[in-house]
Structure 1
Amino acid sequence: MLRKQVLRPVTTGLALALAATVGLPWTAAAHDASSPRTSRAECPQLSKDLPWYGGNRAKLQRMIDERGSCSAKSRSGAGKPVAAFDWDNTIVKNDISDATLAWMLKHDKILQPTSWRATNKWMTAAAHRALTRACGTSVPVGRPLPTSTDTGCTDEILDIYEGAKTSAGDTAFSGVWNHRRTVPEYVWITQLFAGHSPARLTEFARKARAENLAAPVGSVQKVGTHDWAGYVRYYEQQLDLIRTLRKAGFDVWVVSASAEPIVRAWAPGAGFTKNRVIGIRNVVRDGRLTTGVQGCGDVKDDTRGEALTYMDGKRCWINKGIYGIKGAEAWRQQDPAHRIAFGAGDAETDVTFVDDATAGHLVINRNKTELMCRAYDNADRRWIVNPMFIEPKKRQSAPYRCATEGYMNTDGVEGPVRRPDGSVVPDQKDRVFPKGTARS
């Protein structure tokens, strides 16, 4: 999603300093007797032509050797290890839901709802009035809104989606929800797609994909009066990692907080088949998407989005979709045999499932507090932090406030990040960032 910047490997001295501060997992001394002694030529190898930060490639390779097809555990007949990746800003740069919504707004593909208030259970009266005023009532229900030319309607939709406030600054969503399972505006973007078939939404996403891949890195597009990211790029390093994991016998999945029909338009570019993609699944009725959302665990379908693939919801959907765990048990962390071996993500929405991984946790640093607190605390010495491969974030100047407000509780009140034993994670300095960048 911008002019591609190649990050050069850090010097040996900096790599050693990083190992001392972040914790270098899987050192030779840490290998047990069942671990392979060397990375043999016949074992799948990550490309040495694609730069990773510091010693990250070596750490990932050791994890692959330890848990993949060359490991003693694999030869013992144990089941395939599972790897799970977030999609937006983890496998690709930028957000495919944003890209698809922008394309649909620019091509008049959002359909007039029966009532804006009816699209989302948490929408406020103020947001309903603002959307009704901006988008009008002259277009019949179920027909396309003229958002390509109606700037006011487009801006109102984007303001509510992007900031959970109307263009006038009024709160757009209110009420009670579990803040570790859902976000009203995340639900709402999928509810804007109601009335289209899943295949039609995938078709829109493919057209958005073609435009965003063709646009130069760094492009910005105008949607309404908003400046919106105008390009998307697959991260070459992540594509190589995914290929290598598959060759090494891992069962590799995507678990995304984007609508599943949108992810399906992009997933083949990273080698994923549709049965290895989990995204937000709207209820389909008479062949068309509705504003209802499939539930997980003990949350029933058509509850309007109370259990998204978001934070703890990603764990639930992994337990349900990959391991077949049903009911309330799907919300709980499972024993190591029923947890993913490797997880990769970039934001709070990924923190629970990435933390659940037993062999390795890859974090793309976007300065997201709870995820970075866990990554830098590095409790099991298996966390790997890498700057964004394209347009990496600058170093965050202030420490992450892990000890006081890094964790989002279910009621939306922030509190301390805690380890499994209940101890508090201390505040953490940002330590992995491109050499030479200024603080933000």
Structure 2
Amino acid sequence: MCELLKAGVPWIHSLSPFFPEPVVSEKMETLRKTDTQSFMDEVWKYYESKIEKEGLEAGYRWSTWIFSGRTTKELQTTASIVWERHQKDTSPQAVQAFYPMSELVKELEKTGTKIWIVTASPEPVIQMVSELWGIPKQNVLGMRLLEKNGTLSHELIEPFTYGIGKVELVNLANGNQGYDIAFGDSENDFPMLSHVRSKGIFLDRGKKKIPPNGTLIQSVADWKTIPKP
């Protein structure tokens, strides 16, 4: 998302549908052409304000426009570039996989467990990296944006993978077979954690979120990322 915003999203013709206040829209249009860092900062402020007023799901749904305006292939190309860059990044801000979770996925795969990635991120973006962990692209369930004339729009295909929508999409994908175990690290995952046949495991990032009753809690405060070659 940051990569797209720092580019000024020039492929999006107008920002007015996403910033209905004329003064704000005009400001955003100017910033994205003159100061993309400030543009990104202002977008995040607006996003946080929306979450504060309307809730996290409303913020997620609003943010879909950031991924719109280009083809799926173009979005995936950007995702691939960003992922490769982050794997070489040594800063704490780099997006890298947790080593313990990677090892757990390997062990589950050895037992023949079918593993799904269920995410509020765009499905095509996560499909670019899922196979690195042995998870087939077709087992990635994420945000799906409606295509119009080959271009991604900001309109969502329901169910949206937020909250109970994650549970609904898993059931659609596996023929209502349900699932035995689920891992999640945010309130967005709480319905998924509570609809398991066996156990939900909350990966606690120290944000003082309380998962559903019966959920196991695993702190990730001391988890290391996968060692670099």
Determine if the TM-score, normalized by the shorter chain, exceeds 0.5. yes
The answer on whether the counterparts of 2:12 and 2:68 sit within 8 Å (CA) in structure 1 is no
Inter-partner Cα distance in structure 1 for 2:80 and 2:9: 14
Q: 1:253 aligned to 2:116?
A: yes
2:27 to 108, 121, 133: 133
- Paired AA for residue 272 in structure 1: I
1:384 is aligned to: 216
The answer on whether the counterparts of 2:8 and 2:36 sit within 8 Å (CA) in structure 1 is no
Inter-partner Cα distance in structure 2 for 1:250 and 1:213: 27
1:167-186 pair list within 5 angstroms: 183-186=57-60
Residues 332-369 of structure 1 deviation map (CA, whole Å, 9 limit, x = unaligned): xxxxxx32011000111001111111122221113453
The answer on whether the counterparts of 1:282 and 1:290 sit within 8 Å (CA) in structure 2 is yes
Size of the aligned set, in residue pairs, is 223
Residues 74-106 of structure 1 deviation map (CA, whole Å, 9 limit, x = unaligned): xxxxxxxxxxxxxxxxxxxxxxxxxxx112233
2:154 is aligned to: 291
The answer on whether the counterparts of 1:344 and 1:362 sit within 8 Å (CA) in structure 2 is yes
Q: 1:112 aligned to 2:12?
A: yes
Structure 2 regions of 5+ residues with no counterpart? 225-229
Report how far residue 283 of structure 1 moved. Answer: 0.4
Inter-partner Cα distance in structure 2 for 1:162 and 1:263: 24
Inter-partner Cα distance in structure 1 for 2:143 and 2:168: 12
Inter-partner Cα distance in structure 1 for 2:134 and 2:194: 25
Residues 52-71 of structure 1 deviation map (CA, whole Å, 9 limit, x = unaligned): xxxxxxxxxxxxxxxxxxxx
1:29 is aligned to: none
The answer on whether the counterparts of 1:343 and 1:362 sit within 8 Å (CA) in structure 2 is yes
Residues 23-46 of structure 1 deviation map (CA, whole Å, 9 limit, x = unaligned): xxxxxxxxxxxxxxxxxxxxxxxx
Q: 1:343 aligned to 2:182?
A: yes
The answer on whether the counterparts of 2:145 and 2:152 sit within 8 Å (CA) in structure 1 is yes
Inter-partner Cα distance in structure 1 for 2:223 and 2:104: 20
TM-score, normalised by the number of residues in structure 1 = 0.46
1:403-422 pair list within 5 angstroms: none
TM-score, normalised by the number of residues in structure 2 = 0.85
2:46 is aligned to: 160
Q: 1:146 aligned to 2:33?
A: yes
1:235 to 98, 101, 105: 98
1:313 to 154, 165, 170: 165
Inter-partner Cα distance in structure 1 for 2:45 and 2:204: 26
The 1:252–1:259 alpha-carbon spacing in structure 2 relative to 1, beyond 3 Å, is same
Report how far residue 115 of structure 1 moved. Answer: 4.4
Inter-partner Cα distance in structure 1 for 2:173 and 2:23: 39
Which aligned runs of 4 or more in structure 1 are off by greater than 4 angstroms?
Answer: 389-392
The answer on whether the counterparts of 2:181 and 2:197 sit within 8 Å (CA) in structure 1 is yes
Residues 127-180 of structure 1 deviation map (CA, whole Å, 9 limit, x = unaligned): x5313223239xxxxxxx437x34442322121224428xxxxx8x76xxxx7x
Question: CA RMSD for the aligned pairs?
Answer: 2.6
- Paired AA for residue 146 in structure 1: K
Greater share of residues in helix: 2
Residues 188-208 of structure 1 deviation map (CA, whole Å, 9 limit, x = unaligned): 222122111111111111111
Aligned-residue identity in percent: 19
Inter-partner Cα distance in structure 1 for 2:218 and 2:193: 14
The 1:255–1:262 alpha-carbon spacing in structure 2 relative to 1, beyond 3 Å, is same
1:369 is aligned to: 209
Report how far residue 214 of structure 1 moved. Answer: 1.2
The answer on whether the counterparts of 1:191 and 1:291 sit within 8 Å (CA) in structure 2 is yes
Q: 1:358 aligned to 2:221?
A: no
Q: Counterpart of 1:146 in 2: which secondary structure?
A: helix
Q: Counterpart of 1:164 in 2: which secondary structure?
A: helix
The answer on whether the counterparts of 1:110 and 1:192 sit within 8 Å (CA) in structure 2 is no
The answer on whether the counterparts of 2:145 and 2:156 sit within 8 Å (CA) in structure 1 is yes
The answer on whether the counterparts of 1:347 and 1:368 sit within 8 Å (CA) in structure 2 is no
Inter-partner Cα distance in structure 1 for 2:10 and 2:63: 11
Inter-partner Cα distance in structure 2 for 1:368 and 1:319: 29
Inter-partner Cα distance in structure 1 for 2:8 and 2:132: 27
Larger radius of gyration: 1
Report how far residue 275 of structure 1 moved. Answer: 0.2
- Paired AA for residue 355 in structure 1: S
Q: Counterpart of 1:362 in 2: which secondary structure?
A: strand
Structure 1 regions of 5+ residues with no counterpart? 1-100, 138-144, 166-170, 219-229, 297-307, 326-337, 393-440
1:198 is aligned to: 72
1:51 is aligned to: none
